[in-house]
Structure 1
Amino acid sequence: MSPRESTLTWISLVALPVVAALGLLVSLAPVGLSATDMPMPDLVFLPLAVWLVRRPEAAPLLVIFAIGLAADLLRGGPLGIGALGLLGVSELLRRMADGLVRGPFMIEWLVVGGLFIGLLAFQCIALWLTFSPRPAFGLLWQHAAGTVLLYPLIAFALRPLAGSRGRAAGLRSLA
């Protein structure tokens, strides 16, 4: 690994928790207090997904678990369900990263969106099995739609930190 690649990896490694924490803080901000407002997209999942596709080596499992656990704690959900789902999705994305970066962006977007919907389904099943209250179906789909539709914008915004699609593919092929 060249010094430039090593520096980029370290920057990405430090930037991921910072960006995820900012996303968590923004999602916890008291905006949209009326009952008719659309739920906030998942601003913790989106940067993690971008990082896992562009720079999977800069997203260690321990960091992902810590981010998921912090999100569970601060959002007030059952402790560990979101973190466990995030770990599962992150490993799937990590294994598919090479193919996603080399393919068209639309495929990446569809895969990330499908995995997010699967993550929500896992969380709902886990809540059902533990007899915990589940979110309303309509709100859940609005949350999923907002998150999936926001992915291209987040991927574009995080290009300087997480890397562009071509550069990520080139760096991984050198390894």
Structure 2
Amino acid sequence: MIDPVTLRIFGYRALFAAVVMVLAFGRMLPLDMTATNLPGPDLITALAMAWVLRRPAYVPAGLILIVFLICDMLFQQPPGLWTMLVLLATEFLRARQALSRELPFPLEWGLVALLTFAMISGHQMMLGLFAVDRPALKLALVQGVFTLVAYPVVVFMSRWAMGLRKATPGEADALGSRL
């Protein structure tokens, strides 16, 4: 038999991958036939950050690497650059798991905002360094703002629709080790 805790962890990992693929598919669909000048939010990055802040065991670094590399290929971006930046940001958050568990939501949102704009800056610098065509800085910043506006919605949907909540400070896993 499969241990219930292990089953839950792998279930949430599969759910994360499925949600990311649905969001990626939705992003590729030509749903809006009018030309807009504003980019939409990066819901996939917001989802990854929200899940790492809530339950880091549910989104390991390997899963983030695979999912974002696939997204880089699907969206025809330079392969691995945004993946590397998201992986660095999520590992930064994972390393501060004990601190972030006790943060109120506005401070968590501020931390995600800092990381989002650091990733956008790093992305723009790396693309410029290698003379690769890059989106306008204004559009990248607008996308970052829209991602931050969508972040509370992503957290709300993760909590209430998918049952993903933050681990409490004294909570232990099935083996008795503290989370």
TM-score (norm 1): 0.88
Residue of structure 2 in register with 1:54 after alignment: 54
| Secondary structure in 2 matching 1:158 | helix
From the two aligned structures, give the one with the greater helix fraction.
1
Q: Please say if residues 69 and 83 of structure 1, whose CA atoms lie closer than 8 Å, have aligned partners that are also in contact.
A: yes
The yes-or-no answer on 1:138 pairing with 2:133 is: no
One-letter code aligned to 1:139: L
- Provide Cα deviations, 1:49-105, integer angstroms capped at 9, x if missing partner: 111001101111111111111111011111111111111111001112221221110
- Asked if the contact 2:124/2:137 (under 8 Å) is kept, the reply is no
Q: Give the 3 Å change call, closer, same or farther, for CA 60–107 of structure 1 in structure 2.
A: same
Corresponding residue number in structure 1 for 2:149: 149
Q: Give the unaligned 5+ runs of structure 2.
A: none
Q: Residue in 2 aligned with 1:27?
A: 27
Alignment of 1:3-82 (within 5 A): 5-82=5-82
| 1:51–1:162 Cα contact (<8 Å) kept | no
Measured after TM superposition, the shift of residue 28 of structure 1 is 2.0
User: What is the aligned partner in structure 2 of residue 98 from structure 1?
Assistant: 98
Q: Structure 1 stretch 23-32 or stretch 101-110: which is displaced more?
A: 23-32
- What secondary structure is seen at the aligned counterpart in 2 of 1:40? coil
Instruction: Supply the distance in 1 between the matched residues of 2:155 and 2:178 (Cα, whole angstroms).
Output: 23
Correspondence for 1:174 among 153, 170, 178:
178
For the residues of structure 2 that align with 1:174 and 1:74, how far apart are their CA atoms? 39
Number of residues paired by the alignment?
Answer: 172
Give the superposition deviation at 1:38: 2.1
What is the rounded CA distance, in whole Å, between the counterparts of 1:37 and 1:70 in structure 2? 26
- Aligned-pair CA distance for 1:133: 0.9
The amino acid across from 2:178 in the alignment is L
* Distance apart, 1:155 and its partner CA: 0.4
CA gap of 1:87–1:32, structure 2 versus 1, over 3 A, is same
Please give the residue correspondences for 1:103-122 in structure 2 after superposition, counting only pairs within 5 Å: 103-122=103-122
Is this contact kept in 2: 1:38–1:139, CA < 8 A?
Answer: yes
Q: Structure 1: any 5+ residue segments left out of the alignment?
A: none
User: CA contact under 8 A between 1:9 and 1:57: conserved in structure 2?
Assistant: yes
RMSD: 2.0
Judge conservation of contact 2:41–2:146 (CA < 8 Å) in 1. yes
Opposite residue 66 of structure 1, the aligned amino acid is I
Whole-Å Cα distance in 1 between the matches of residues 36 and 23 of structure 2?
Answer: 23
Contact 1:52 1:94 in 2 (8 A): yes
Write the letter of the residue equivalent to 2:70: A
Residue equivalent to 1:164: 165
C-alpha displacement at 1:7, in angstroms?
3.9
